[in-house]
Every structure is written in C-alpha cells, then in structure tokens.
C-alpha cells in the first residue's frame, strides 16, 4: 500500500481547539479515552505509519459465557480498521467522525439520540458526491464499535435511546437535582430515563426490600393501582416488553448499590424466558455491556408452565404455541445458563408439552387482583422461583 507524505500534526492540536464546560469525573474518563484514540492516529500519521484502529470483535464467535461471573462477555478477538485500505477507509473515517461528535457532546454537557448523532455527523464529503453516512443503519454499528473501542456504555457517550418503562415504590431518588419520591407519583409513575448513570441519578432513601419487575405497562398499572409496593415494601418496574438499556442499568444499580433482590414476573412464553435471560446474563448484541447491566442473581417468579394447573385457570386463556415458539423454546433451553439447570429444563419441557403459552394478564380471569393479592405474594412468601 502506498504511503503518502503527510503534514506533521501537533499531537495536542485536537485538545486545544475545543472550548469546554468543566467535565465531571465520568465524562473526563470518556473524553480521555477519545483523546487516546485520536492521539494514536495522530502519532501514526506523524511517524508516517498507516493509521489504524483496533476494534474488539462483536461477532458471535467472540461472545463467551463466563461461568464464574455468570454473565456473557466478549472474548479477546479484534480486527483492525485501517485508513489505507480501500474496504476500510470509509468506516475508519466514520469511526473518527463519530468519536469527534461524541467528544463535542461531552464538552457541551449535552446529550442526544442516536438519530440526532446521525444527523449531526451526516454531510457530503467536499469535492465528492459521497455522504459520510447514507442512512442511520450505517452509523448505528459504527457507534457500537466505538462503544467497545472506548470501553464506554452508550449512555457514557451522552447518547440516549427512546425510553420506555416506569417505576413506583418506596424509593426516593435525585434526578438532575430534582428529588423524586417514587411513592408519590400517582397513577403515572416515574418514567425511567434512558441515561441513569450515577452522575444523573442518585438514590437518596430506600425503604424497599425488593424489586418486582413486570413485563408490561398494563400489568404494572394493576400492581400500582393496588398499591402493591406499599403493602409489600418494594419497588415496581416495567420495561414495556424487552426492557431498554436504561431500565436494565437501573435494575443493575438497584441490585448492586442498594442490595435489593430482583424478581421478574413475565409471560409464560419463550419471549418471557428470553427477557429474563437478558436481564440475568446479558444479550449477545450488547455482551460488552453485561458487566454493567447483567444481574446473574435475578429471580424468575413466573408465570410458570404449571401455573395453568396450580392456579386452576380456564382453558379459554390458553394461547397455542406456534412453530416459531417451539423452536425458540428449544434454543433457550440450550443456553449455557439454562442447559444444566433441571428446574429450567422441566419448566421449558412442560411448556412444550402443554402446547400453549400464558400471559400474565390471563390471571384476571380468576379475579382482577388475583395477581397482586394472591399469586405474587404467595410465590415470594414460599420462595418459589426459578434461578
């Protein structure tokens, strides 16, 4: 590959040009990582070497289950992305472009959405008809690369996702300086933000003894209306289906900082099992974030496959399993953290034998408050859950 003569660049050029707000410790660390990344490029250029970036591989083959820590982790494989390689030049440029935009966000003390980041960095490259990014599907994976390169959560890069999920219960927290009493939030609850890092949200006072995490907002409303959190001294959360990063990170912090057990009440279907699996061990896509999101000790309270019999439910609430459900259930049964657990094998086997799935909402066919008055308190009192 041809080496070109380049003008020598001052190694401190980048850090000089930015007028910045004062950075807190966390942001200073992230900015430092970006600085190191850019310095490595500047150094290579001044030594007339090929500038390149080492990127830990996010391929499935590099995702490992750490049995000791009981979480998904990335292995040690990485690929390098080089400026003077025709197939890598564009993604090299994109990586630096995004890191520069993130650096600016940090210096401004502002946050944006990943769509906002895309719009910020998208432009026509002068003297060509090429766009830096054609659409957001091009910038999103580069951003994920950047997260692993910088060893930073997306939230630490000042980027948020569409938020979902709510909280109510015996917890007082401080969110950007505002004190929020989650036991005084009416029917609406506290909307869990996308960024819940300790510099944004601090826990102030907690009387709760555990966290009950339910799958859906509608179920959460039943629990909130019945003031379950007051009767049982807990915190109620939901994630609107698969919980977004903000909710997972908040559950992690509640579990690790406040030492609260996390109980999950999810549908009795492969999707419910999968949600639990992600809360517990992390997801394959975001394996590098497991260490700050996964909660290996989270408990699966239900619904269980034998609840149909145990609770005496009517056959009219059964939803037939389809082929996709059956295939998915078998895959989940083979996950390393379920494969050696008899109780989980029995649970998934029984669902397949039943031939149907059950939603938490199906419990209203017993009584509107059966789930809050009977089902959940009984399971917790009997320590009857899967692990």
Catalytic residues: 119
Binding of a second copy by 28 (CB under 8 A)? no
- Of 44-52, 329-337, 345-353, 364-372, the segment contacting a second copy by CB under 8 A is 364-372
Task: Kindly tell me which residue out of 9, 21, 24, 119 binds a second copy, with binding defined by CB under 8 A.
Answer: 119
Least Cα distance to 195 among 27, 380, 371 occurs for 27
Task: Kindly tell me which residue out of 99, 139, 221, 237 binds a second copy, with binding defined by CB under 8 A.
Answer: 221
DSSP state for residue 56 in the 8-state scheme? E
Nearer to a second copy, 87 or 187 (CB): 187
In this structure, what are the phi and psi dihedrals at residue 257, rounded to the nearest 5 degrees? Answer: -90, -40
Binding of a second copy by 309 (CB under 8 A)? no
Binding of a second copy by 374 (CB under 8 A)? no
Least Cα distance to 161 among 114, 211, 231 occurs for 114
Binding of a second copy by 26 (CB under 8 A)? no
Judged by CB under 8 A, the chain residues 125 through 144 that form the site for a second copy are: 131-132
| Residue partners of 260: CB distance under 8 A and separation at least 6 | 206, 208, 209, 210, 211, 235, 254
- Rounded Cα distance between 108 and 88, Å, is 30
Task: Kindly tell me which residue out of 39, 111, 242, 354 binds a second copy, with binding defined by CB under 8 A.
Answer: 111
Q: Contact at 8 Å (CB) between 337 and 70?
A: yes
- Of 3-11, 67-75, 220-228, 346-354, the segment contacting a second copy by CB under 8 A is 220-228
Nearer to a second copy, 141 or 188 (CB): 188
Least Cα distance to 122 among 114, 113, 132 occurs for 132
Binding of a second copy by 187 (CB under 8 A)? yes
Q: Contact at 8 Å (CB) between 277 and 339?
A: no
The tokens describing 66, both together, are: 């750490």
Binding of a second copy by 193 (CB under 8 A)? yes
Nearer to a second copy, 116 or 296 (CB): 116
Binding of a second copy by 162 (CB under 8 A)? yes
| Least distance CB 215 / a second copy (angstroms) | 12
Task: Kindly tell me which residue out of 123, 207, 231, 327 binds a second copy, with binding defined by CB under 8 A.
Answer: 123
Nearer to a second copy, 184 or 259 (CB): 184
Farthest-apart Cα atoms in the chain, separation: 79
Binding of a second copy by 124 (CB under 8 A)? yes
Judged by CB under 8 A, the chain residues 310 through 339 that form the site for a second copy are: 314-317
DSSP string for residues in 243-308: PPHHHHHHHHHHHHHS---EEEE--BSHHHHHHHHHHHH--STTGGGGGGT--TT-EEEE--TTHH
Binding of a second copy by 364 (CB under 8 A)? yes
Judged by CB under 8 A, the chain residues 37 through 96 that form the site for a second copy are: none
Binding of a second copy by 184 (CB under 8 A)? yes
Residue with tokens 């310095």: 39
Task: Kindly tell me which residue out of 26, 29, 35, 115 binds a second copy, with binding defined by CB under 8 A.
Answer: 115
Helix (H) or strand (E) holding 193: none
Strands 159-160 and 112-113: parallel
The three-class DSSP label of residue 80 is strand
Contact residues toward a second copy (CB under 8 A) are 105, 108, 110-113, 115-116, 119-120, 122-124, 131-132, 160, 162-163, 166, 174-180, 184-195, 200-201, 216-218, 221-222, 225, 240, 314-317, 359, 361-362, 364-365, 368-369
């Amino acid at each position: 590959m041809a080496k070109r003569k380049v003008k020598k660049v001052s190694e401190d050029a980048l850090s000089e040009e930015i007028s910045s707000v004062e950075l807190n410790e966390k942001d200073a660390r992230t900015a430092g990582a970006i600085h190191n990344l850019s310095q490595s490029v500047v150094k290579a250029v001044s030594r007339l070497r090929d500038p390149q970036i080492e990127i830990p591989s996010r391929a499935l083959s590099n995702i490992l289950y750490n049995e000791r820590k009981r979480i998904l982790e990335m292995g040690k494989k990485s690929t390098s992305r080089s400026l003077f390689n025709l197939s890598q030049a564009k993604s090299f440029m994109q990586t630096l472009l995004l890191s520069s935009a993130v650096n600016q966000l940090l210096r401004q003390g502002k946050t944006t959405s990943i769509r906002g980041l895309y719009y910020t960095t998208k432009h026509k490259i002068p003297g060509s008809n090429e766009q830096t990014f054609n659409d957001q599907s091009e910038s999103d994976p580069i951003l994920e690369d950047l997260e692993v390169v910088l060893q930073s959560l997306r939230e630490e890069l000042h980027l948020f996702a569409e938020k979902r999920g709510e909280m109510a219960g015996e917890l007082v927290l401080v969110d950007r300086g505002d004190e929020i009493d989650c036991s005084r939030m009416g029917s609406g609850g506290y909307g869990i933000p996308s960024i819940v890092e300790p510099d944004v949200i601090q826990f102030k006072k907690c009387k709760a003894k555990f966290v009950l995490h339910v799958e859906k907002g509608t179920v959460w409303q039943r629990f909130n209306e019945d003031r379950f959190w007051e009767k049982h001294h807990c915190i109620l959360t939901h994630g609107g289906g698969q919980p977004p990063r903000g909710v997972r990170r908040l559950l992690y912090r509640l579990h690790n900082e406040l030492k609260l057990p996390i109980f999950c009440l999810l549908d009795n279907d492969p999707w419910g099992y999968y949600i639990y699996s992600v809360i517990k061990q992390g997801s394959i896509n975001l394996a590098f974030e497991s260490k700050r999101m996964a909660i290996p000790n989270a408990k699966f309270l239900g619904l269980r496959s034998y609840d149909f019999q145990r609770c005496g439910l009517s056959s009219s609430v059964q939803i037939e399993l389809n082929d996709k459900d059956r295939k998915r259930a078998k895959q989940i049964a083979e996950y390393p953290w379920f494969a050696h657990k008899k109780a989980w094998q029995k649970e998934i086997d029984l669902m397949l034998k039943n031939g149907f799935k059950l939603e938490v909402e199906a419990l209203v066919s017993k009584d509107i408050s059966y789930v809050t008055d009977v089902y959940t308190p009984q399971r917790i009192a009997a320590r009857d859950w899967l692990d």
